[in-house]
Amino acid sequence: MVQASTVEKRFIFNKCPKAQRFVSDDQGQVLGFNKLDNGNNIVYTKDLEGVEVAIEHCLDGTKIFHMEKDSKGLPAMHEFKPDGTEMIYLFTETKALEKTIELKNNGDKVTYWFSPVGDVISHEQRQKGGMLFRMKTKLAESMIYLKVDGEAECFGTEKQLAHIKKVFKQYLDGLV
């Protein structure tokens, strides 16, 4: 599972990025270059609207696009892994991780929502095998597994299971 603090520390725009070298062309476009302590290379640029973008090239072949603002005006990060997995990280205005979407190359999709107090709720949509709804706090973890045939398996605290049913009412309405 994704750790919010780890992602927040990796987000380039949570720090003051400083490019070590710059190159500019005849039209005034500027590219900045930097190498991180871990060996990853970063290219700093701006998109057509002038929004800052940092493209991180990782040693394992992963590419991470750090965006000062996405289409909603909020900070975001997109990670493309060599195995075909895509991770989308959406941040709040204060650059705290709010939501992560993992798109696996087999078609599975896992979405995580992070609360300010450290709770995590997730929804996993499996191409084969149904859907999994999970809530994890510092004290407990609960889960509802909705099978393809409509049957459900549940474990965890009643309070958390009730919260999961409320949050995902559109999928779990009618589940006792």
- Which structure tokens are listed for 158? 């009643």
pLDDT of residue 76: 95
Residue 136 backbone class (left: φ over 0; alpha: ψ -120 to 50; beta: rest): beta
pTM summary value: 0.87
Share of the chain above pLDDT 70, in %: 96
What is the signed CA dihedral for 64, 69, 75, 76, rounded to 10 degrees? -30
> Which pLDDT tens digit goes with each residue over 156-176?
999 999 999 999 999 888 775
Q: Which residues, 6 or more positions from 26, have their beta carbon under 8 angstroms from its beta carbon?
A: none
Residue 159's nearest CA partner among 135, 138, 132 is: 135
Please give the pLDDT value at position 48.
Answer: 75
Per-residue pLDDT tens over the stretch 93-145: 999 999 999 999 999 999 999 998 889 999 999 988 899 999 999 999 999 99
**Tokens matching residue 92:** 């709040």
Q: Of all helices (H) and strands (E), which one includes residue 4?
A: helix 4-10
The pLDDT of residue 176: 59
pLDDT of residue 107: 92
H helices present in 30-105, as ranges: none
DSSP assignment of 15-44 equals: S----SEEEE-TT--EEEEEE-TTS-EEEE
Burial of 146 (0-12, 13-18, 19+ CB in 10 A): buried
Question: Residue 10 pLDDT more than 80?
Answer: yes
